[in-house]
A and B are shown apart, each in its own frame.
Chain A
Amino acid sequence: DVKVTQSSRYLVKRTGEKVFLECVQDMDHENMFWYRQDPGLGLRLIYFSYDVKMKEKGDIPEGYSVSREKKERFSLILESASTNQTSMYLCASSFIGTGSYEQYFGPGTRLTVT
């Protein structure tokens, strides 16, 4: 089974802290993604990466950065956490899509910024 793991299930941070959310996949997938999910707004794409050291902005990249130094690992960084970044963060991975395409999601990290 494909496994996408996220470093924490729940996280509480203070305003202004630098926050790292880590995601690791074990299927040698080229693509990795970070989404956030908020009530009434659904899942929104923050950043994605289709190769090591490559990144693309999603729909809501402001306030976030990412790092992909190894193929299996994709990190989401909140440089200075703010309360409006309190959310559920979901990581996903996939092969490069041709024909059949499936994104595999991790369990999510519920981040609370106080």
Chain B
Amino acid sequence: DAKTTQPTSMDCAEGRAANLPCNHSTISGNEYVYWYRQIHSQGPQYIIHGLKNNETNEMASLIITEDRKSSTLILPHATLRDTAVYYCIVRPRSGNTPLVFGKGTRLSVIA
């Protein structure tokens, strides 16, 4: 079973920031938080990951709470092409553990 909880769906106006929350209250010290997204009819795509510090890359920012029990993925200026299902995944830092996907959040960016 997935170890994360996400809202089923969210809407965001084009050009505004999209903030996608994720609860992972049972996360352990050696587990990372990963975010992937899946655009319709495509395979999932990696976005970002983090352990305890906030992270930023060209796609998004990841804010992890100090107790690491929740995180927020931020798309700073959402576009219509960001419409997708977003998955928050917790995974051990090392080893061969595959990604376990939950249901994710369906983000709809509206013009």
Contacts and interface: CB of A to CB of B under 8 A. Distances in A.
B44 A58 contact: no
B11 to A, nearest CB: 20
Interface in A23-38: 31, 33, 35
A42 B41 contact: no
Contacts, number: 56
A43 B44 contact: yes
Interface residues of A, number: 26
Contacts of B16: none
B43 A107 contact: yes
Contacts of B29: none
Question: What bracket does the count of chain B residues touching chain A fall in?
Answer: 20 to 34
Nearest to A103: B99
Interface in A63-112: 90, 92, 96-108
Interface string B27-69: 0000010100000011111100100000000000000000000
27 contacts: A4-B43, A31-B96, A31-B98, A33-B98, A35-B101, A42-B101, A42-B103, A42-B104, A45-B98, A45-B100, A48-B98, A50-B96, A92-B44, A92-B99, A97-B94, A97-B97, A98-B93, A99-B93, A99-B94, A101-B91, A103-B44, A103-B46, A103-B98, A103-B99, A104-B46, A105-B43, A106-B43
